[in-house]
Chains A and B, each alone.
Chain A
Amino acid sequence: MTWDQQKSGWDFQRRIEPLLPWSAAYAYSIVRSREDAEDAVQEAAIKAHRAFAKYNPSCPFKGWWLAILRNCCRDLLRRRHSRPATATIEGVEIPPDAAWASDQYSDLREALDRLSEGHREILQLRYFGGCSYREIADVLGIPAGTVMSRLYAARQAITAIYREDQHHEAN
Chain B
Amino acid sequence: MKPISPEEISALFDGELMPDRAEEVRRAMIDDERLRRIYEQIATTDIALTSCAAACQFEPHVSLPSISPVVGFPIYGLAFGLLIVRIVAKSLPFGPSISLQALAIALVAAWLLYRFLPALRTDMWQAVHELGLGSGTPP
Name A residues whose Cβ lies closer than 8 Å to a Cβ of B: 1-4, 6-14, 16, 20-25, 27-29, 34, 37-38, 41-42, 45-46, 49, 103-105, 108-109, 123, 126-128, 130, 132-133, 148-149, 151-152, 155, 158-159, 162
Instruction: Tell me the interface secondary structure of chain A in the complex.
Output: helix
Among residues 46 to 97 in chain B, which have CB atoms less than 8 Å away from a CB atom of chain A? 46, 48-65, 67-68, 71-72, 74
Complex contact B67–A108 (CB within 8 A): no
Most buried by A among B6, B60, B74, B121: B60
Give the B interface residue count (CB, 8 A).
44
For A106, give the chain B residue with the smallest CB separation: B52
Name B residues whose Cβ lies closer than 8 Å to a Cβ of A: 6-11, 14, 16, 41-42, 44-46, 48-65, 67-68, 71-72, 74, 121, 125, 134-139
Docked CA distance A149–B10 (Å): 9
Contacting B125 at CB < 8 Å: which of A7, A23, A127? A7
Q: Which residues of A contact B7 (CB under 8 A)?
A: 148-149, 151-152
